[in-house]
Amino acid sequence: MRLRIKVVLFTLPVICVFSGFSLAQGMGSMTTAGHNLADMKFVTLPPLPTCAKGSIASGDPTSGASIIVAKIAAGCVIPWHWHTPIESVMVASGVARMDMKDGKPATLKTGGVAIMPANGIHQFTCLQACTIFIHSNVAFDIHFVDKAGKEITPGDALKAVKETPATEMK
């Protein structure tokens, strides 16, 4: 029985990530279509660092549930931050480290999954070039914070980790 619970706990978030279905919010189905990474256009996404580029695979991250595919360079750091939605991340390729405030860091390899609770402060570091899928259950936002948890500007947050914030989608 214990193994069955672990399999369900691992499988359910993965299903949510790929279907765009959010059990937590009881959302209906989203528009879906097949996408190949080679056909997707990746752009910088303000206020994230320029070492990360993304493409929207499903939904509209400004107004509801969505799936964003991101390609992130080795060594790229998305410093301490939190989101209003529950954020589910699955590593499609590469190796990444997810640090949670007051939690143990997790090294995620291809197929690895991390679920961050709404308002959960975390940091993401791509250790080897990463391609990741990011599912959010409601409109996606990002709030950078300092070591004390106080909200700071994207410029200040990224400066602290020697990254440059994107200023436009290109």
Dihedral sign, Cα of residue 137, residue 143, residue 145, residue 149: negative
pLDDT of residue 25: 30
pLDDT digits (tens, 9 = 90+) for 17-55: 333 333 223 233 345 567 798 999 999 999 999 999 999
Which residues, including other chains, have CB under 8 Å from residue 14's CB and lie 6 or more apart?
A: 90, 113
Instruction: Provide the terminal-to-terminal Cα distance of the chain, rounded to the nearest Å.
Output: 49
| Whether the predicted model's global pTM rises above the 0.85 cut | no
Distance CA 156, CA 79 (A): 10
Distance CA 48, CA 70 (A): 11
Domains and CATH numbers, the chain: 2-27+37-160 (2.60.120.10)
What is the pLDDT confidence band of residue 142, given thresholds at 50, 70 and 90? very high
Dihedral sign, Cα of residue 69, residue 75, residue 111, residue 12: negative
Residue 141 region, left (φ>0) first, then alpha (ψ -120 to 50), else beta?
A: beta
Distance CA 159, CA 153 (A): 10
